[in-house]
Chains A and B, each alone.
Chain A
Amino acid sequence: SSSPAGETGIGLRGDPTPRRPGQRTEERVLDFSDPFSAGVKPRIVLLALRRSGKPSIQKAVFHRMSPSETLFLESTDKICRGEVSNGSFVSFQIWDFPGQIDFFDPAFDYEMIFRGTGALIFVIDSQDGYVEALARLLLTVTRAYKVNSDISFEVFIHKVDGLSGDHKIETQRDSHQRANDDLADAGLEKIHLSFYLTSMYDHSIFEAFSKVVQKLIPQLPTLENLLNIFISNSGIEKAFLFDVVSKIYIATDSTPVDMQTYELYVVIDISWIYGLKEDGAGTPYDKESAAIIKLNNTTVLYLKEVTKFLALVCFVREEIFERKGLIEYNFHCFWKAICEVFEVGMKVVKSRKVQNQLQKKKGATPNGTPRVLL
C-alpha cells in the first residue's frame, strides 16, 4: 500500500484522477491556493467499504458531476486528495480512500492521516447490508479517536433512494442503535457519531456535507448572526452563504432550512452565472456578479458575490425586493463584516506562520505582521 502524498498543501494540485474535459478544478486550484491556508485547512476524510459510492459523492458534490454520470466511475484504487474551495476563508481537503486498501496495514501511516483530520465521513451503503460496514466503522472510529480525539465522526447512510419511507428511518435508527451499542461495549461512549441519510439523487447529500463542513468552521456562529441581522433588517425570507465551487452552504440564518428552496438552488447550479461574464472579463466570477431570478411564487432569488468563493443567495418576497437599494446597502454592511471576520482569520494564520518561521530561522528580524489584504 502507498503512503499519502505530501502534506504541504502546495505539493499536490488537484486530484490525480483522470479529469473530464472542461472541468474547472485545475485552474481553480492554481489560481486560488495560498500558502497560508495550508496550516489550518480542515481535512475531511471520506471512508467506506468498497463500492459504497465515495468517489461518486466527491464528484457529485465538488465537481458537479450529475448523479447518473457517477454510475460510470471506476472504483478507487489509490488515495485521492482533492482540494476544495481553496479560498482564504474556508478551505478543506477531501481525502478519498479507496475501499480496497487495508486501512490498518502496519505499513500504512494512519496516524499521520488522522492527526490533521477535522471530520471523518464514513459512508455506509444502505442497500448492501450495513452490519459489516458497522463493524468496520467501529474499528476505524476507535483507531482514529486514539490518534485524534477532536475528530468529528459523521456517518452517511448512503443510497437511501432505494429504500422506502419507513424503512429509511428504521435503517437510521437501527444502525444508530447498533453503532452506539458497539461503542458502549468498547467503553467509548464519549465518541459521538452523527448519522445522515443521503442520496445522490436529491439535495440530501449536499445538505449532509453542508452540516459536516459547518462543524469545521469556527466562525459559524458569527456568520450565522451576521446573516440573521442581515435578513431581519432587509426583510429577506431566507439567506444562504454558499460555497461557489461545491453546492454546499457554509452558513445560513437560523430559520429552518426548507427543502424546496435549497433544492431549487442546487438545481439552478450557479455555473450558468459565470457565463454572463465569461466572454468579456478574465475572471468570470467577480465582485459585480449578481443574479436576480424571479420565481413564480412571488419570490425573488437574489444572488450576490461576497468573496471569490462565497456567494450569498437570498429568497426575497417580490414586494420587499422593490426596496432593492436597502438590500444593497445592507449587503454592503454585511460584506464588510464578513471581510472583517475573514481578516481576523487571516491574521491568526499569518502570525502563526510568522512565528513558525521565526522559530525556524532565528536570525530573521520580525518586522511586524504583514497585512494581508483581501
Chain B
Amino acid sequence: MEKMSRVTTALSGSMLTGRTMHCHLDAPANAISVCRDAAQVVVAGRSIFKIYSIEEEQFVEKLNLRVGRKPSLNLSCADVVWHQMDENLLATAATNGVVVTWNLGRPSRNKQDQLFTEHKRTVNKVCFHPTEAHVLLSGSQDGFMKCFDLRRKDSVSTFSGQSESVRDVQFSIRDYFTFASTFENGNVQLWDIRRPDRCERMFTAHNGPVFCCDWHPEDRGWLATGGRDKMVKVWDMTTHRAKEMHCVQTIASVARVKWRPECRHHLATCSMMVDHNIYVWDVRRPFVPAAMFEEHRDVTTGIAWRHPHDPSFLLSGSKDSSLCQHLFRDASQPVERANPEGLCYGLFGDLAFAAKESLVAAESGRKPYSGDRRHPMFFKRKLDPAEPFAGLASSALSVFEMEPAGGSMGWFVDTAERYALTGRPLAELCDHNAKVARELGRNQVAQTWTMLRIIYCSPGLVPSANLNHSVGKGSTCGLPLMNSFNLKDMAPGLGSETRLDRSKGDARSDTALLDSSATLLTNEDNEETEGSDVPTDYLLGDAEGEEDELYLLDPEHAHPEEPEYVLPQEAFPLRHEIVDTPPGPEHLQDKADSPHVSGSEADATSLAPMDSSFSLLSVSHALYDSRLPPDFFSVLVRDMLRFYAEQGDVQMAVSVLIVLGERVRKDIDEQTQEHWYTSYIDLLQRFRLWNVSNEVVKLSTSRAISCLNQASTTLHVNCSHCKRPMSSRGWVCDRCHRCASMCAVCHHVVKGLFVWCQGCSHGGHLQHIMKWLEGSSHCPAGCGHLCEYS
C-alpha cells in the first residue's frame, strides 16, 4: 500500500504530456481501460486483447494477452477493467458468461489468473472496487450481479435484478458499500454490497434500456446515466427520491458516459449507433457539446480519461479498429461554430439582439439586458460565478423596448378583433372595417376599405338614418322581420332556433349562415338583398353612429339612384340566400349579363312573379353598363394587396382577401394566398387571438389552411385539487375522488368557460355566475364573500 500511494502522488505531481494520436488495432475494440499509472491502456474486443503503452508520440504494443493456439471463447471480451489500486490486476467479461482475472505479474506467458463461470449469459460489465484490492463485481445479461472476492474461488454474493438484463455496474467512489446497476428495462438500482437480498433503491430512469452509468468523482451521490432514449441524465441520489438534476439530449443512443476529471459539470459520451463522435458536455448547457472529437470512422465503443486528475487526455477505442488519444485542446468546439449573433422582433414591437460580448463591450454606455421592466418576471436565473462559457461563445443581449404609447402593436390586436370579415353584405363589411381603421388612426387603410366598397358595391345604399332606426329598435323589430322573409325557405328548425335565442352571439352565428352566402351574391344584387339585411344589423352594436360620415365619402350620384333600389325588397327571390355552396366564378359572370339564369331561379320561387324579377334585373344590368365592371379594378386591387403584404401589413391583405372572396381570389395565385394566410394566422396566434385566428382559418378557401382545423385537438385537463392529470374518463379525479371544477350555482361540472372569484375561489359557469351576481352580491357558494364581477 505504501508503495502504491507513493507512486500516485508522484504521478499527480508530474504533468502528463502527449499529443493527439491514434494507432491501428487488428480488430474492433469493445472496451478500453487505463492503468493507474496513466501510461498503459488495455484494449479488449471479440478477437483482441492487448496492452499498449502510451508514449509521447505513439502507442506501443506491450503485451498480447490472447495467447494459445486456439483462442477460447473466454477471450472474447465484452468488457475489460484495470484495477485502480493494483497495476498488475485486470478483469475481463466474456460474451459466454465467464469472468476472467489476469495477473500481469505472472512469470509465464499466460497471464490468466482466475476464471469464474457462474453467469449463464454474456457478462456485460465488470468493475473493481475503487479502494478494496480483492473485490470484483460483474453484471450479466442473465439478470444477476455477482460480487467476487479474488481470494476465493467463487462468488461471495449474488444480487438478483429480477430477470432483467444488467447493462452496467459501478461502485460508488464515495460510498464504500454502495454500487449502482442499470438495467435493460430502464431501471437503475442502488445496492448495498452487504445486503444481497434486495436493493436499497430502485427508480425508472430512462425509457428503454439504460446502457451506462458513472458516479461523479467528487460530488457525492451524483450519478450520470445514459440510455437508448438518447438522453444522459444526472441524478442526485442523496435525496430521498432520486432527483433528476440535468438532462442532456444527444442525437443517438448513449453507450458510455464518463465524468471528466477536475471539471465538475463535464462528462464525455459516445454513442452506440450512427454517430461516431465523442462529445464532452457541460451538463448545464445541454444543447451544445462543449467539445467534440471526430477522429473515429466507426462507432466508438470505449472511452476513458487517461488520468483521474488530468482533464485534458481522453482515450478511446472504436469498432473501426483504432485506438486514439484525444487532447482536449485539439477538440473541435461546436460552440465556436454556433452563431453568437441573433436578432428578433418581439411581439409588441420590441427589438432584441444578441451579439458577441466583445463587440458589445466595445460600444460604451450599453448595459446588459436585465429583464423586462414593464412585465416583471417571477423567476431569477442564478448566475454561476464559475460560468465556463464566458470566454467561449457567450453573447450579450440587448433589448430595445418600444415606448408603451407609440408604435406598439396595439392596433394590430384591435384591428384583428374588431374587423368584420363575414356575415354581412360586402358594402357593410367594408364600411365597418373602414370605420375601425379610422378609429385607430389608420387613414390609409380606411380609405382603402372605402374604395373597395365603391369598386365592388353599387353606390346606392340605405341611408344611415334608416339603419340606425332599425338598430335602435333592436332585436324585437329585427327578428320578426327576418322570419317573415325566411319562413318559407328556411328549415323550420333553424327558424325557431333564431327566434328562441335572442342573445347576440348566438343569433349571429345562426344568421351568419344565411348571410355569408348572401355576400357572395351581393356584387350585383346588393341593392335587392338590402332589405333582408336590415334585420341582421342589430347584431353588431358598433355599426351605428358614424355611418353618416362614411357615406359622405360616397359619390353623390348614389343618392339619386337610391329610390329605385328600395323598391324590390319583397319581390326579389330570397332563394339566393339559401344557396349553400358558393357559386363558381363563371356562374357569377353568367349572372352579371344573362338574365335567364336569374330568371329561372326566380321562377322557382312562388314569391316573385316572373316579369317583376325580369324588370328588376334589367335595371341592374343597365347599371353595370353605365359603370366600370369590378373586373376592371381587379389588377389594381391585386397590386394593392401585394403592396400591403409587402409593407408588412399582412392583416390587411388577408382581411381584404376574405371580405372580397371570389372577386379577387382568382387573380392571386394560390401560393401567395397561402403564404399570407399562414403569416397572418401565425401572428394572430402569437398575440393569442385564438378566436380570430380560428375564424380566419375557417374562412380561408385554401385547402392547406382550412385543414389546419381538421387536425385533432387534444385537451389535457388537470385536477384543480391535486394538480394531477385527469383521466379521460369523466370529470372525477382518480386520486382525490372529487369532481373537478364544480359550478357553485348549479352544482354541475363546468366543462366550458369557468369563472371564479379571486377572493374566495368559488366559481362556476360564466352565465350562472353572471346571473347570480345580478341578484345577489354574495358568493353563490355561501361562503359569505362579497364577490364582484366586472
Partner-B contacts on A (CB < 8 A): 127-129, 131-132, 152, 165, 167-169, 172-173, 176, 189, 192, 194-197, 211, 215, 220-221, 224-225, 228-229, 232, 253-254, 256-260
Contacts and interface: CB of A to CB of B under 8 A. Distances in A.
Interface stretch (B215-223, B582-590, B726-734): B726-734
Contacts of B122: 224-225, 228, 254
Given A192-B163, A215-B163, A169 B76 contact: no
Contacts of B679: none
Contacts of A131: 734-735
B120 interface: yes
A172 B185 CA distance: 11
Contacts of B735: 131
Interface in B271-307: 272-273
Contact of A128 (B47, B204, B272, B728): B728
A220 B206 CA distance: 26
B198 A228 contact: no
A197 B207 contact: yes
Given A165-B207, A169-B204, A221-B142, A194 B163 contact: yes
Q: Which 4 A-B pairs have the closest CB atoms?
A: A129-B727, A254-B122, A232-B46, A192-B162
Nearest to A170: B204
B121 A176 contact: no
Contact of A189 (B120, B198, B272): B198
Contacts of A253: 95
A196 B185 contact: yes
A131 to B, nearest CB: 5
Contacts of A173: 203-204
A254 B209 contact: no
Nearest to A175: B204
Contacts of B141: 224, 254
A228 B255 CA distance: 19
B73 A229 contact: yes
A228 B46 CA distance: 10
A219 B142 CA distance: 12
A225 B121 contact: yes
A128 B729 contact: yes
Contact of A254 (B95, B204, B272, B725): B95
B167 interface: yes
Interface string B112-149: 00000000111010000000000000000110000000
A225 B97 contact: yes
Contacts of B255: 256
B96 interface: yes
B46 A256 contact: no
B228 interface: yes
A205 to B, nearest CB: 14
Given A169-B204, A254-B122, 7 more contacts: A127-B727, A173-B203, A196-B185, A197-B207, A215-B163, A221-B142, A228-B95
B666 to A, nearest CB: 39
Contacts of B46: 232
Interface in B36-57: 46-47
Contacts of B211: 256
Contacts of B96: 225, 228-229
B198 A225 contact: no
B593 interface: no
Contacts of B253: 256, 258-259
Contacts of B209: 256-257
Nearest to B96: A225
A254 B78 CA distance: 9
A169 B207 contact: yes
Contacts of B206: 169
B97 A129 contact: no
B55 to A, nearest CB: 31
Interface of B: 46-47, 73, 76, 78, 95-97, 120-122, 124, 141-142, 162-164, 167, 184-186, 198, 203-209, 211, 228, 253, 255, 272-273, 725, 727-729, 734-735
Main secondary structure of the interface of B (DSSP, over half): loop
Nearest to B163: A215
B573 to A, nearest CB: 48
A127 B167 CA distance: 30
Contacts of B167: 256
Contacts of A168: 207
20 contacts: A127-B728, A128-B729, A167-B725, A168-B207, A172-B204, A172-B207, A173-B203, A189-B198, A194-B163, A195-B185, A197-B207, A224-B121, A224-B141, A228-B96, A232-B47, A254-B122, A257-B209, A258-B253, A259-B228, A260-B273
A165 B729 CA distance: 22
B199 to A, nearest CB: 11
Nearest to A259: B228
A220 B729 CA distance: 42
B207 A152 contact: no
Contact of B208 (A129, A192, A259): A259
A176 B1 CA distance: 46
A128 B725 CA distance: 11
A253 B728 CA distance: 41
B748 to A, nearest CB: 21
Nearest to A254: B122
A197 B253 CA distance: 18
B121 A129 contact: no
B127 to A, nearest CB: 17
Contact of B273 (A176, A211, A229, A258): A258
Contacts of B73: 225, 229
B250 to A, nearest CB: 14
Contacts of A195: 185, 204
A211 B183 CA distance: 13
A168 B729 CA distance: 19
Nearest to A260: B273
Contacts of B184: 256
B233 to A, nearest CB: 10
Contacts of B185: 194-196, 211
Nearest to B164: A194
A260 B122 CA distance: 23
A221 B186 CA distance: 22
B508 to A, nearest CB: 37
Nearest to A165: B207
Interface core residue of B46, B167, B255 (most chain A CB under 10 Å): B46
A102 B207 CA distance: 34
Nearest to A126: B727
Contacts of A192: 162-163
Given A194-B185, A232-B47, A254-B78, A220 B121 contact: yes
A129 B730 CA distance: 11
A41 B273 CA distance: 37
B734 A129 contact: yes
Given A197-B207, A228-B122, A232-B95, A256 B228 contact: yes
A259 B253 CA distance: 9
Nearest to B47: A232
A120 to B, nearest CB: 14
A220 B376 CA distance: 62
Contacts of A152: 163
B204 A176 contact: yes
A75 B770 CA distance: 46
A187 to B, nearest CB: 14
A257 B272 CA distance: 10
A211 B273 CA distance: 22
B120 to A, nearest CB: 4
Nearest to A189: B198
Nearest to B724: A174
Interface core residue of A189, A192, A232, A254 (most chain B CB under 10 Å): A254
Contacts of B725: 167
A169 B229 CA distance: 11
A176 B205 CA distance: 12
Contacts of B186: 169, 172
A221 B207 contact: no
A183 B672 CA distance: 63
A365 B777 CA distance: 100
Contacts of B727: 127-129
